[in-house]
Amino acid sequence: MEYQNSTKTTTLSNVDLLPIFHRIFLLIGLRKVQYPTPEEDVFNSNFIKKNYGHKTTNEIIEAFELAVTGKLDVDVKHYDQFTLPYFCKIMDAYRIFNNERILATPPPKLKEIAYQMSDDERLKEIEEWRKKDYDFKILPLYLYDWLLKYSLHTITDDLKADYYQRAVRVHENELRRNFELFGEKQPYADFLKLKANNFEKISDKDLSTINNIFKRIFINEYLKK
């Protein structure tokens, strides 16, 4: 089966994911006697589709290719087994690498260009984003302003509250993930304390992060309609 860039793991069956696993096993040097059992294959497939369903098959393969060639800051030793913590470790190193790659090549004056566009150009770009296989984290925030300006996506008070609650959960999950995988304990502990105090003394950094996640949820809800 040939995989295209737009093939997300969540759209594949467990059987379709097996060739991806086998390619990973070849890349990391796992011997056939060390391959997961059929039952483990099913469990691994379901876990990956649930937690990495937004990733394409090509992105997963690229992550392991970069890891084994030493281009990711991660230990690729598998200790004669393929485990989900091992998979997550590689994918998180890839996430960091990819974010740095994106930041290293930003479009010149993207925001300024976006705000100089005509109404027709803006509406066209919004429609183009609806067709893209995008990463939630890099959705441009100016789309939020455009959606409001052209009344393309309205929001009730109840929806606004729901989006903010979701934004808080996304931020909390990211902090917890960084703590569990990379030992970044203090930011997560500080956030839990802040949450317990009903966000009475929220920092500008946390507030900005949550607001930006809120805007991306708003944008994503429209693009996925």
| Same domain membership, residue 225 and residue 117 | yes
Instruction: Give the whole-angstrom CA distance, residue 142 versus residue 167.
Output: 18
Q: Which of 74, 104, 134 corresponds to the end of one domain?
A: 104
- pLDDT tens digit string along 99-142? 777 666 555 555 556 667 888 988 999 999 988 878 888 888 88
Report, as an integer, the average pLDDT of 160-167.
92
Asked if the structure places residue 4 within a domain, the reply is no
Report, as an integer, the average pLDDT of 54-69.
92
Which residues, 6 or more positions from 82, have their beta carbon under 8 angstroms from its beta carbon? 21, 24, 25, 28, 30, 34, 35, 36, 44
- Where in the sequence is the domain holding 77, given as residue range(s)? 9-104
Instruction: Give residue 1's pLDDT band: very low, low, confident or very high (50, 70, 90).
Output: very low
Q: Which of 104, 135, 162 corresponds to the end of one domain?
A: 104
- pLDDT tens digit string along 174-210? 889 888 887 888 888 988 988 888 888 888 888 888 9
As a whole-number percent, the residues of the chain with pLDDT over 90 amount to 47
Give me the sign of the Cα torsion angle 71, 74, 79, 84. Answer: negative
Q: What is the pLDDT of residue 216?
A: 94
Local structure of residue 8 (DSSP, 8 states): B
DSSP code per residue over 189-208 = HHHHHHHHTTTTT--HHHHH
| Same domain membership, residue 119 and residue 59 | no
As a whole-number percent, the residues of the chain with pLDDT over 70 amount to 91
Count the residues in the chain.
225
| Same domain membership, residue 22 and residue 61 | yes
Q: What is the pLDDT of residue 63?
A: 94
- Based on the structure, what is the number of domains in the chain? 2
| Same domain membership, residue 86 and residue 153 | no
Q: What is the pLDDT of residue 4?
A: 43
| Same domain membership, residue 94 and residue 64 | yes
| Same domain membership, residue 178 and residue 129 | yes
| Same domain membership, residue 120 and residue 62 | no
User: Nearest CA to 54 among 100, 99, 91, 2?
Assistant: 91
> φ and ψ at 56, to 5 degrees?
-85, 160
| Same domain membership, residue 136 and residue 99 | no
- Would you say residue 214 has pLDDT above 80? yes
Which residues, 6 or more positions from 148, have their beta carbon under 8 angstroms from its beta carbon? none
| Same domain membership, residue 32 and residue 19 | yes
| Same domain membership, residue 196 and residue 157 | yes
Token pair 């997550």 is at which residue? Answer: 88
Q: Which of 64, 79, 104 corresponds to the end of one domain?
A: 104
